[in-house]
Amino acid sequence: MYPRILAFCLTLVFPLTSVYSQQQSSIPRTEFDRPNFQGYWTNQSQTPLQRPENLGTQRAYSIEEANRLMGAARQRDAERAAPVAEGLEVPAAGAQIGFQADQNFANTRIDLTVINDEYRTSLIIDPPDGRWPFQEDWRSNTYYGALLERGAGEFDGPEIRNPWERCFFVGGQLPPMVAWAYNANFQFIQTEAHVVIHREMVHDARIIKINGQFQPGAVYEWAGDSIGHWEDNILVVYSKGFHPQASNSRIPSSDALQITERFELVSANEIYYTFVVEDPKIYTQPVTVEMRLQRKSESERIYEYACHEGNYSLPGILAGARRAEVQAESEQ
């Protein structure tokens, strides 16, 4: 769907009047008189992208339910910060070992996403059940699903493993707008002609061309080819040309993926952010997501995320697969 057609359709989905009351006099602006997004932000929240199935079409928690969830998260955070207990037993042979030690130093998601005074049960708001509306054959339409369907093994080589494991792109076609388990931080850099979104995870930077044009031909980029324009004080961004290998567990996708985003600075410290996912090879209908981006304090910055530093997981996975193959051959 091309920008002009998509812009018309979006007026049906996203009216130009925000769900927030407009207080433009308090909104910081750039020297070229646009809302000033520049600085460091986070989208950290314990609200999941997909709604738990048992909640059905329940879009929001009651205040009591929300307080219980946030209270439980605070308790988990306190337990993780406590000293490790003495006398821990050695794991049994063959037991799965996680990365609990790393998780003990990661941020705990405590707050829920609140929009229109609702404690949201999911970031997806349409379809009404808050879940991905998958096509029946969606897996075979992803890059990795197609390889497996053609007979590739899951551990044949690095090409069959996702780019997150390979540490050059951690997935999420909207960097940094899909919150990760940790390091859900990013920076906006803004000029009159471009907006750059630089995220902490693997140091990806997405360049949005304001009033620009898509690249000609079938050019794939890991984070897509993005162009944007201003509708009053709302930045609208269209993206396509996502690399097929960028498909991941959070947003499965094909080469047909297109995304439309809307960024609205509703206060000096909050952006109301929405996006629509369209991929007819994967989903039966467009999917709408709503969330809040919150400004980090003046003292907080983002630092290098060196994913490859000391990363031996992928060679270990492949070496283990080769060893299993040798053992299987010797037993024949």
If you average pLDDT over residues 252-268, what whole number do you get? Answer: 94
Compute the average pLDDT of residues 35-43: 94
| pLDDT at residue number 14 | 44
pLDDT at 82: 80
Position 181 scores a pLDDT of 66
Q: How confident is the model at residue 52 (pLDDT cuts 50, 70, 90)?
A: very high
Per-residue pLDDT at 25: 66
Residue 120, pLDDT > 90, answer yes
Across 160-193, b (16+ Cβ under 10 Å) vs e yields ebbbbebbebbbbbbbbbbbbebbbbbbbebeee
pLDDT of res. 121: 97
* Interval 207-224: pLDDT, tens: 999 999 998 877 788 888
| pLDDT > 90? residue 21 | no
Please report the pLDDT score of residue 9 as a whole number.
46
- 13 pLDDT above the threshold of 50: no
Confidence (pLDDT) at 155: 92
The better pLDDT of the pair 174, 236 is held by: 236
> Which among 29, 299, 300, 250 is positioned nearest to 124, based on CA atoms?
250
Q: Name 276's bridge partners.
A: 260, 288
Question: How does pLDDT run across 73-114, given as a tens digit for each residue?
Answer: 999 888 888 877 777 788 888 887 776 666 667 777 889 999
Average pLDDT over residues 37-41: 94
Q: For residue 156, name the pLDDT band (cuts at 50, 70, 90).
A: very high
